[in-house]
Amino acid sequence: MYVSSLNLASFRNYESLHFEPSEGLNVLLGQNAQGKSAILEAVYLLATSKSHRTSRDMDMIRLGDPLARVVAEVKRTARNDVTVEIDLSKSEKKILKINTVRHPKIGDVVGQLNAVVFSDSDIDMVRGEPSKRRRFLNLEISQIRPQYVYALGRYRRVLDQRNNLLREIKAGTASKSGLDVWDSQLAAYGAIVIARRAEFVRFLSGAAAGIYSTLTGGSEEFLVSYKANVEPGDETTEAEISERFLSALGDKRELDLARATTNTGPHRDDLTLMVNGLAAREFASQGQQRTAAIALKLAEIDLMEQTVGESPVVLLDDIMAELDESRRQRIFDSTVGRCQTIVTTTHISEIGQAVIERCTVFDVESGTVSRQ
């Protein structure tokens, strides 16, 4: 799979852009704040419907403009080629299109293009709060399991409704009996989220452990496990998880009523990341944390390839200066010749001479892109 063309209109600092990357390795070369990362952000937006740089869609709209448009032509081998489009507005919901046809559901668009992004914020996934790791799970599972997008969206809506009711009950304006309906729906959608997360982490754990071992010359051990708020079990069905979730909601009901919020469910899940038997978040060095993040992302490429049947587009967003030569080489060895790869950098020397000979270089300056 690869992006054959990318068109931007009023996106970040681009008034308009038509960009045709090669199928292999592409280097976007330029100083900071010229528009390099915006190109990667646009590709990732089309893959996931989300930015890897901001949580607000309006931040991606060019200053002074009301709308932004991102369109990509995607060549695929396991499925037919596709055109994916997302239009952003400062006042309306985003518009999603596949082959120029508008689709109301985000799940229809997510996964049409698969992408894995490496950025300098990846280390926050390892050392940051659980919300960072949940976001990682949500974005990456959504690309390979369309059902997950729908279930997660429904879960969040039901969770909001249940929390609103809990607040009303605490205020004395609603009855406890209304919780039963929301509990059953929360358990049903939550079970799908939990099952897909458990499935994803089982594969990710084995692949990431092997990659981490290679990156450290076999001297260190990396373990990834799913810390579920409702334990899924190894061979548990979604129906069984739903029953277990429903029971947990009943057990925690008095606590939920006292706190006026839902204390049980996948919105409180986490990933447990261990380096040499110790929690990576608390005890790993910065180098170990960065290596752990790289191992997770490289494992994600393997998972997408096996699940979708073709390699994703790989986006390396200004990470070259943060990595030593061995880590850079490991990433390139895993991607170049296998995936379309787009790299941003301020200095071409950070790429390495052996890799430079195999890449297409584009100069990026003040919102313009030109091929060398």
Do strands 25-29 and 341-345 pair parallel, antiparallel, or not at all (unpaired)? parallel
Does some domain include residue 74? yes
Measured CA to CA, the distance from residue 368 to residue 345 in angstroms comes to 16
Categorize the per-residue pLDDT at 138 as very low, low, confident or very high, splitting at 50, 70 and 90.
very high
pLDDT at residue 253, rounded to an integer: 96
pLDDT tens digit string along 142-197?
Answer: 999 988 999 999 999 999 999 999 999 999 999 999 999 999 999 999 999 999 99
Distance CA 143, CA 106 (A): 11
Q: Return the pLDDT at 336.
A: 85
Between 325 and 259, name the one with better pLDDT.
Answer: 259
**At residue 354, does pLDDT exceed 80?**
no
Q: Is position 265 within any domain? A: no
Task: Report the pLDDT value the prediction gives residue 55, as an integer from 0 to 100.
Answer: 87
| Average pLDDT over the chain, rounded to an integer | 93
- Domain of residue 333 covers 1-114+310-372
The arithmetic mean of pLDDT across residues 246-268, rounded, is 96
Alpha carbons 87 and 68: distance in angstroms, whole number: 6
Backbone angles phi, psi at 355, to 5 degrees: -80, -40
pLDDT at 324: 79
DSSP code of 311?
P
Domain presence at residue 223: no
CA of residue 245 relative to chain centroid, distance: 26
Taking only the tens place, the pLDDT of each residue in 49-98 is: 999 999 899 999 999 999 999 999 999 999 999 999 999 998 899 999 99
- Does 28 fall in a domain? yes
Q: Is 184 helix (H, G, I), strand (E, B) or coil?
A: helix
What is the pLDDT, as a whole number, of residue 348?
86
Q: How confident is the model at residue 330 (pLDDT cuts 50, 70, 90)?
A: confident
Q: Is 352 domain-assigned?
A: yes
Residue 88 lies in a domain: yes
User: Between the CA atoms of 48, 51, 57 and 63, what dihedral angle is there, to the nearest 10 degrees?
Assistant: -140
pLDDT of residue 234: 75
**Choice between 211 and 327, residue whose per-residue pLDDT is larger:** 211
pLDDT on residue 347: 87
pLDDT of residue 356: 81
In a domain, 24, yes or no: yes
- In this prediction, residue 349 carries a pLDDT of 83
Per-residue pLDDT, 209: 95
The pLDDT of residue 85 = 97
Instruction: State the pTM of this model.
Output: 0.92
The tens digit of pLDDT for each residue in 209-253 reads 999 999 888 999 999 999 999 988 877 899 999 999 999 999 999
Contact 60, 41 (CB under 8 A): yes
**Domain CATH code at residue 358:** 3.40.50.300
Q: Is residue 65 part of a domain?
A: yes
pLDDT above 70: percentage of residues in the chain:
100
The number of domains in the chain is: 1
Tokens of 316: 């390396």
Beta strands in 60-190 (DSSP E): 67-75, 82-89, 95-98, 101-103, 115-119
Residue 112 has pLDDT above 90, yes or no: yes
pLDDT value of residue 125: 92
Residue at 70: amino acid letter: V
Contact 316, 323 (CB under 8 A): no
